[in-house]
Structure 1
Amino acid sequence: MTYHDLKANRRQVLVSVSAGGLTLGFSLAGKAQAQDDAVRPLNAYVSVAPNGIVTITAKNPEVGQGIKTMLPMLIAEELDVAWEDVRIVQADNDPKAFGRQFAGGSMATPLHWDELRRVGAVARAMLIQAAATAWNCGPADCVTAPGEVIHKPSGKKRSYGSLALACASVTPPDPKSLTLKDPKTYRIIGKPMAQYDVEKIVTGQPLFGIDQVRPGMLYASIVKAPVFGAKVASADVEAAKAVKGVKKVIVIDGDPNGLFPTGNIGQGLLPSVAVVADSWWAAKKGRDRLNVKWADHPTQAQSTKSFAEQAAALNAGAPQRNARNDGDVAAALKASAKTVEAAYSYPFLSHANLEPQNCTAEFKDGKLEIWAPTQNPEPGRQLTARTLGIKPEDITVHMVRGGGGFGRRLANDYMVEAAWVAREAGAPVKLLWTREDDMAHDHYRPGGYHYLKGGVDAQGNLIALQDHFVTFSQNGAIAASAGMPATEFPARFVPNVKYDVSMIPMAIPTGPLRAPGSNALSFVFQSFIDEMAHAAGADPLAFQIKLLGDQAVVGQPPAAFGAGRMRGVLKAAGEMSGWDKRGKLPKGEGMGVACYYSHQGYFAEVAHVAVADDGSVKVKKVWVAADVGHTIINPHGALNQVQGSVLDGVSEALHQQITIDGGAVQQSNFTDYPLMRIAESFPVEVKFLKTEFPPTGLGEPALPPALPAVTNAIFAATGKRIRSLPITPDMLKA
């Protein structure tokens, strides 16, 4: 779906009026609906109660990124209502009313910046028209102040609540005909707002998927093979049933295409055994007694060690295909004053959501109701319908807050499992994975291997770059989130570039993790550019700016790259961090710089690290300069997203890896898959550069440069290059 697919017209504006007041919706799905009291509030964005309280529906899933607050801010600003008079409710999945509802790709802002402001503007125009009709004047004689319409000539006022019912006879205007507010008059956009649910979160009120409760609900725990896709050979069903509280044990054969299904609706139902009980603990105890034996499976031959061996063998031979070939790399390398050759690698990663995967489902009279902390509800509804053999329209998906997403909840395997078990159990069921389940059955960020060569000329210019990228494939195609664009920087800025690709077949499920692709590629290319700067004897920051050249934009949409914007953030990061004074740092300390374009955002980051004699790394501070357009909608949320992204990226660099042995994941919990602890955290100073470009999202683009900024700082501190992750003390011991 493109930006233009979400444009709405006059026929797509919905209005309903009842004794409760005005309800206005703005269909982005391209279908008008009947305008009467039967229009459901789920199809509406705005409701105005007689007492003036405005309820705004948040259309997209909330997984901690603040979207439930930010999107309603856009509507409330143009509606001209006081923020303290706004109440926010979470929409259910309803593509007919809301179009596509998802949390991913940092797309909420670019897709909704204009459209949702117009939702508010339409509602405001209707209230003005209702007042003008009552006063027998023209709309031009009326203005609004927060929550009220004012008749300019007389000073008369009417509250929004008193006008709500009168809007029944008002024809909604064409959204495109309305003039939106001058940003100088904003009262809500650009002001720091706490997340709407923060009080409920800190006081432990039920909000999350894991909190859901239904009358007569049972609990389920499900076990799948350690080796992905292996079938159940045997299970001690009677032993599990003997546990007090266990109601049913369900052996699931699974979908033959469940692991890697056709189409783009996600992983389906895998072979497994579910234990259903009157408490989750009873279900878990029953599961522990199953003593499941699993059938042999081809994936058992796969391991991290074998992947590395295959990558080295593939690099020794001819690449399987070429992705980019500019100029003559071989000749340019031969003519270079200095050349560098290096092999980089990065591991598989787990999303490690703090809330494990879960879902509550109720199947009754052929219809299914689901409560799921999903990032992508509609594909989950379609997948569940296909798996259960029912119509998608017979499934209702309630989107509940997720305790972390990071891309994991774009897949909906837990939704399918809960639905299947609920149908078989004949009762509402809450399915809850253990932490070990979550670690062993993630959709992992794929690992990868890069074999690089680069050359600089006598003037210190990067003139040649070659990368043989060895990645992973599934069913003959590059695995999910395992690819690399042919435009990967510094392509287009170096005259001679060659990107080759080879693939290792594998059967481990992969998928997007925060800043997919970029979270790994940034480490490789920004670290190697730092290597080339060192070979050229150049200041790494100055080398990056010189590499970008003097053009404002390189390439054409949709792959255009704002070189001027990247130069701007690099210069800002240098100024913020006192880059020019880094030579005065004590022994064992260093500063590194990296920049990256991701999800329409331009980011440059400088890290200051200290490396002890035992090889331990302490990040002391990170400075971030960002260009995400002309408006920061919620500065409070924006700062949280950038700081969280940097901490997330550094945690990946210092600690995280998933390793495979015998076809199974070796890590099981935070004991062997550690995340950054509070004691390791550090200050993150952020500066947003205001430019003339439309605003974009902030959930992801700050993460990629954090990793190479740290590894480059480690080199500055120790002279030792980090070419594989995670960083271990053994790499850096004195």
Structure 2
Amino acid sequence: MTADTPINPARRDFLKTSALAGGGLVLGFYFDAASGAGKGVAKPGVQAGGHEFRPNAFIRIAPDGKVTLISKQPEIGQGIKTSLPMVIAEELEVDWRDVVIVQGDLDPIYGSQSAGGSRSTPTNYEEFHKLGATARTMLIQAAALTWKLPADELVARDSAVHHLASGKQLSYGKLAPIAAKLPLPPADQVKLKYPQEFRLLGKRIGGVDNPAVVTGKPLFGIDVQLPGLLYATYVKSPAFAGKVVSANLDDIKKLPGVRDAFVIEGTANLKGLLPGVAIVADSTWAAFSARKQLKVEWDAGSVAEQSWQGFTKQAKALFKQPAGEVLRNDGDVETALAKAAQTVETTYRYPFISHASIEPQNATAWVKDGGIEIWAPTQNPEAGQKIVTEVLGIPKDKITLHITRSGGGFGRRLIPDYIIEAAAIAQRVKGPVKLTWTREDDLQHDQYRAGGFHFLRGGLDEAGKLSAWHNHFVTFSHPVYKDGKPVVELGAGANLSGDEFPGRWVPNCRIEHTALECGIPMGPWRAPRSNVLAWVFHSFIDELAHAAAKDPLAFRLELLGDKGFLPGTGEQGIPYDVNRMKHVLHHVAEKAEWGKKAFPRGQGQGIAFHFSHRGYIAQVAEVTVSKDGKLKVDRVVVSTDIGAQIVNLSGAENQVQGSVVDGLGALMFQELDIDKGRIVQSNFGDYPMIRIGDAPTKIEVHFLKTNFPVTGLGEPALPPLAPAVCNAIFAATGIRVRELPLRKTDLSWS
């Protein structure tokens, strides 16, 4: 597809039209359960007035000209509530000032509503174009009928249809009742705009919630208020999945403001309803105050024997033993290493860390009339609905789930544990109840990014080319439940593919892993697995480049070679385009003036790249390290290839800049210790986050438009940051960083 070729709309024989009650056009998606192998997919369609009208259609045009667009994906700070409606508005040719964006609740009419894996844009982009173009076509046809003119003489622009020859125009509001009565136009009459015709996409558009955010208006789950609302806290075992033996419930029930206190048996499901004690009160303050006087005896079980120190000791022993599973075994690694002109051998390790979103987990639930109504800041409302059905037995059609804005997600809110806790408490309470986690709950009962240990060996031939690569990865598994039955599987983000770079690029390559069973819950953390694997691999590649006495950029380009297009990589089966990666590498090197600057000792440049969540990203970091070891990241240059179109330029830049800062914070500070099966850290006092003084002085963001499908940007810009900074530290000081967080390494030099 070239830049001059519009995306052709698919068949539209599944669309239907009808009038909005009161007169108006309502155009949206409907749910086709017969498609998608029984999973159901969203397809463009008209949700109609009268008996067929449903208020969750994506486009509603009222007779007064107001255009309401429904955002179906959860907004977690990635800007999707603004950017996806922009796609509809572009094709609809509506004045953005006439648009009102409304968050859609969970409804099968929308298809999937999960926000994770940077998939919201690529899975909706083309369909949203078709939806807007279909509505525009119908409005033009309505004007053509009104004026008795050929439709091809009319144009839509700024929320109106115009006849340029005569100067006549009709607003969308006046045309909506007429358009709603028209039959669906044939597919060949629905034309998508050419990219060069875009007037909204690619521009800087402020987030639709920005005014409400900065003025403190209620948007988030924690803001929910209802008549007669009660407030709850839920206390779980410090050691994961510990059971309640006894609790001083009678004493708690006598405290001021407390309505009830009770034990919930729960299960050992680390992603579900864990055992605990619920306290329900007239206010959050009363619930939290009572909690301080709660005394619980816990049966911690075998998890109480687990610790990070113990895991580290086990990992060191496992490096010397056969791996549990071989993921890739090409050539003869041992012979290649034995014949290598040079070999490099080392270990890298990183800890468990928390998502630490600003808004602690919370949900409000109200059991009534045989069903339940839930308000939750969730990334995965379908999972919340499912777990309520499975645990409480409430049918799906009796569950109403309102999606609130999330005060940060980063993958944490894909797991619905806080939703099922609120729902289970609500089953015991007459009236609505809001569950709020404390900051300590949020840190000590997270779904953590898994720690890991890598034993690496690399061999270089006489020409300095990488001839052998061996990675033994010691990772973690934990118990999960599938179809109600416990199974043991690798933690989210704790897996590794044999196709991961540089797996398929080295003739003699063995990639293997061994899993340690643990009772620590693990979940996806922004750019799962890529956020740590990029650091490990591109740091070690940098070690090999310097051992070969080659420029780190040239070494990487030589390693990438001319393989072109590699199908079926390990990341969700997404192909790897080597030429796209080389393109961003060349581009970032040019923008950062790689190799053209003379840095004094204590300053240096580092480079890295990574393919993550369909995005091709390369970064160059420039750092200064003082003699006493204080690091300052002076500049980060980012080159990004996420396809043919940037939807919202300000939002896209924000995502890249945020990824850089977030990645740097994880690199520099974040670390959890595990002792006796529990998290040692409890709050930001002993779990420091990045502050403004530690942020890069300058972040330069460059977007390369290429003729490939548009993809997401919430995650792919994060992984290359850590290796780029660590490689720059080596260039500045000669010190290699092989353990995270960075504060564990002495960077002082003389």
Structural mapping, 1:201-280, within 5 Å = 201-256=213-268, 258-259=269-270, 267-280=271-284
Gaps of 5+ in 2: 1-8, 35-44, 479-486
TM-superposition CA deviations, 1:252-283 (whole Å, max 9, x none): 11035x22xxxxxxx21110111111110001
User: Which among 471, 490, 504 is matched to residue 467 of structure 1?
Assistant: 471
Assess, with a 3 A threshold, how the Cα gap between structure 1 residues 405 and 8 changes in structure 2: closer, same or farther. Answer: farther
Equivalences, count? 719
3-state DSSP class of the match of 1:144? strand
Determine if the alignment matches structure 1 residue 336 to structure 2 residue 360. no
The secondary structure found in structure 2 opposite 1:581 is: coil
Change (3 A) 1:231 1:49: same
- Counterpart of 2:208 in structure 1 is 196
8 A Cα contact 1:274 1:287, kept in partner: no
C-alpha deviation, 1:156, in angstroms = 2.5
Which residue is 1:618 aligned to? 632
Out of 667, 689, 714, the position equivalent to 1:653 is 667
Residue 26 (str. 1) matches residue 29 (str. 2): yes
Structure 1 residues 335-364: Cα deviation after superposition (integer angstroms, max 9, x where no partner): 111110011111111000000000011111
Residue of 610, 626, 643 corresponding to 1:596? 610
Deviation at 1:587, TM superposition (A): 1.9
1:14–1:26 Cα contact (<8 Å) kept: no
The residue that corresponds to 2:70 in the other structure is 57
CA contact (8 A) 2:739 2:745 kept: no
User: AA paired with 1:136?
Assistant: K
Q: Distance in 2 between matches of 1:250 and 1:77?
A: 53
TM-score by length of 2: 0.93
Q: Secondary structure at the match of 1:323?
A: strand
**By how many angstroms is 1:84 displaced?**
1.0
Partner Cα separation in structure 2 for residue 599 and residue 165 of structure 1: 42
- Provide closer, same or farther for how the CA distance between residues 702 and 28 of structure 1 changes in structure 2, counting only shifts above 3 A: farther
C-alpha displacement of 1:198: 0.3
Range moving further from structure 2, 606-615 or 666-675: 606-615
In structure 1, list runs of 5 or more residues that go unmatched.
Answer: 1-5, 260-266
Q: Does residue 1:424 correspond to 2:424, yes or no?
A: no
Match 1:572 to one of 587, 603, 611: 587
Which deviations, in whole Å up to 9, do the C-alpha atoms of 1:64-106 show, x marking residues without a partner? 11000000000000001111111100000012x1000011111
Further displaced range: 559-568 or 699-708:
559-568
The correspondence for 2:105, drawn from 81, 89, 92, is 92
Deviations 1:28-62 (A, max 9, x none): 54577874424454430011122212110001000
- Partners in 1 of 2:475 and 2:334 — Cα distance? 23
Which residue is 1:134 aligned to? 146
Given candidates 450, 454, 469, the residue that maps to 1:450 is 454
Q: What is the identity percentage for the equivalent residue pairs of Structure 1 and Structure 2?
A: 49
- What's the secondary structure of 2:441's corresponding residue? helix
SS of structure 2 residue aligned to 1:672: coil
Q: 1:8 to 1:468 in 2, by over 3 A?
A: farther
Instruction: Indicate the residue corresponding to 1:67 in structure 2.
Output: 80
Q: 1:42 touches 1:92 (CA, 8 Å); kept in 2?
A: no
Q: CA deviation at 1:542?
A: 1.2
Other-structure match for 2:715: 700
Is 1:392 aligned to residue 396 of structure 2? yes
* 2:134 aligned counterpart, secondary structure: helix
Q: 1:220 to 1:612 in 2, by over 3 A?
A: same
Rate the CA distance shift 1:476–1:90 in 2: closer, same or farther, 3 A: closer
Q: Name the aligned partner's letter for residue 587 of structure 2.
A: A
Q: SS state of the match for residue 316, structure 1?
A: coil
1:477-514 Cα shifts (integer Å, max 9, x gaps) = 32222101111101121111110111111111101010
Match of 2:286 among 282, 305, 310: 282
Tell me the residue number matched to 1:547: 559
Give the aligned residue type for 1:628. I
Q: Which moved more, 1:585-594 or 1:352-361?
A: 585-594
Q: CA RMSD in A?
A: 1.7
1:307 has 2:311 as partner: yes
Report the counterpart of residue 576 of structure 2 in structure 1. Answer: 561
Q: Deviations over 1:222-280 (max 9, x none)?
A: 11001000001111112211221110112111035x22xxxxxxx21110111111110
Say if 1:638 and 1:698, in contact at 8 Å, map to a contact too.
yes
Do the aligned residues in 2 keep the contact of 1:223 with 1:274 (CA within 8 Å)?
yes
Please give the alpha-carbon distance, in whole angstroms, between the structure 2 residues aligned to 1:99 and 1:692: 27
Residue 446 of structure 1: how far off its partner (Å) = 0.4
What is residue 532 of structure 1 aligned with on the other side?
Answer: 544
The residue that corresponds to 2:622 in the other structure is: 608
What whole-Å deviation, never above 9, does each CA across 1:149-169 have from its counterpart, x for those lacking one? 123554432111001111232
With structure 1 as the length reference, what TM-score do the two structures score?
Answer: 0.95
Once residues 15 and 456 of structure 1 are traced to their aligned partners in structure 2, the CA distance between those partners, rounded to angstroms, is: 69
Which shows bigger deviation, 144-153 or 442-451?
Answer: 144-153
- Partner of residue 61, structure 2: 48
CA-CA distance at 1:27 after TM superposition = 2.2
For 2:54 and 2:699, the matched residues in 1 are separated by: 41
Contact 2:240 2:300 in 1 (8 A): no
CA distance, structure 2, for counterparts of residue 623 and residue 121 of structure 1: 37
Distance 1:459 1:42, change over 3 A: farther
Q: Summarize the Cα distance change of 1:400–1:296 in structure 2 as closer, same or farther, 3 Å threshold.
A: closer
Cα distance in 1 for partners of 2:669, 2:262 equals 38
> How do 1:629-640 residues align onto structure 2 when only pairs under 5 Å count?
629-640=643-654
1:138 Cα deviation after fit = 3.5
Q: How far apart are 1:175 and its partner, in Å?
A: 5.7
**Which residue is 1:262 aligned to?**
none
Could you tell me how far 1:218 is from its partner in structure 2? 0.4
CA contact (8 A) 1:53 1:86 kept: yes
Aligned to 1:10: 13
Q: Could you tell me how far apart the structure 1 residues matched to 2:65 and 2:185 are?
A: 22
Asked if the contact 1:9/1:176 (under 8 Å) is kept, the reply is no
Separation of aligned partners in 2, 1:355 and 1:556: 37
Deviations 1:627-660 (A, max 9, x none): 1111111110000000000110010010001110
Residues 221 and 629 of structure 1: CA distance in aligned 2, closer, same or farther (over 3 Å): same
Q: 1:681 aligns with which of 686, 695, 702?
A: 695
Query: For residue 17 of structure 1, what is the amino acid of its counterpart?
Result: L
CA gap 1:162/1:549 in 2 versus in 1, 3 angstroms = same
The residue type equivalent to 2:414 in the other structure is L
Compared CA separation, residues 175 and 306, structure 1 to 2 (3 A): farther
Tell me which residue corresponds to 1:488: 500
Q: Is the 8 A contact 1:615 1:728 kept in 2?
A: no
Q: Which moved more, 1:611-620 or 1:48-57?
A: 611-620
